[in-house]
Amino acid sequence: MIRLHRRQLLGGPLALLAGCRAKEHWHNIDVTGEFPQLQFTMADAAGGGIVSAASFLGRTVLLYFGYTDCPDVCPLALGNIAKILNRLGPLASWLRVLFVTVDPNRDSLATLKAYTAQFAPQIVGLRGTPDQLAALARTYRIAYSVTPGSPGQPYEVTHSAAVYAFDAKGAARLLIPSLASAKPDIAGTTADLQQLILGPPSIGFWDWLRQTA
């Protein structure tokens, strides 16, 4: 039998009455505390102006690197993200997807705007200088390369396909590896993003007591 002293019961009565927060459970990879706060300054393809990480505070953010001429990986990842946004319903308005081009030499702002518009209105195309792009990719361990075309050698671009999720305060929370794969975890990622947007669910006092016994 569990006995609680009066001091334990009265130490936080308002918190107990309001319910306790359930422990976070993720379907994707928890990277909380492993990466710096989201920081960047780039041109926004939709508005044409300069935006920064601060422009998206208050919303959950997905960060993905790619390019508009990508033949397979980028359309697959963005298509799966669009499915997730559709599943989120009204909550999708609290999510922004930052599509950062790794091929700024060919991806103009107009090209980025037209490309992202094919998938979902929450997807924002970003174009940075070579230094801005390299700094952001290095921070989140994204590998990419661009090899200009030459006689006998086609123009070639490679890039990592990972997606990062940030909470409303700009903290890196999740690494989502499956969205560019043949078996994307649409349901699990939707649940993870819903939890990032809303926070972990509350649990009643007795449920909390059983978990801490």
Whole-number Å distance between alpha carbons of 194 and 213: 29
Give pTM, 2 decimals: 0.83
Whole-number Å distance between alpha carbons of 155 and 32: 37
Radius of gyration of the chain (CA): 21
Contact in structure between 155 and 105 (CB atoms under 8 Å): no
- How confident is the prediction along the chain (213 residues), in pLDDT tens digits per residue? 434 443 343 344 434 444 455 667 899 999 999 999 999 999 999 988 999 999 999 999 999 999 999 999 999 999 999 999 999 999 999 999 999 999 999 999 999 999 999 999 999 999 999 999 999 999 999 999 998 877 878 889 999 999 999 999 999 999 999 999 989 999 999 999 999 999 876 545 445 445 445
Instruction: Concatenate the DSSP letters of all residues of 144-192 into one string.
Output: EEEE--BTTB--EEEE---EEEE-TTS-EEEEE--TTSSS--HHHHHHH
**pLDDT at res. 210:** 54
Whole-number Å distance between alpha carbons of 37 and 192: 19
Whole-number Å distance between alpha carbons of 156 and 29: 30
**Token pair recorded at residue 2:** 């569990």
Report the sign of the C-alpha dihedral through residues 143, 43, 81, 190, in that order.
positive
**Domain 26-200: which topology?**
Glutaredoxin (3.40.30)
Whole-number Å distance between alpha carbons of 193 and 206: 27
**pLDDT at res. 1:** 41
**pLDDT at res. 8:** 42
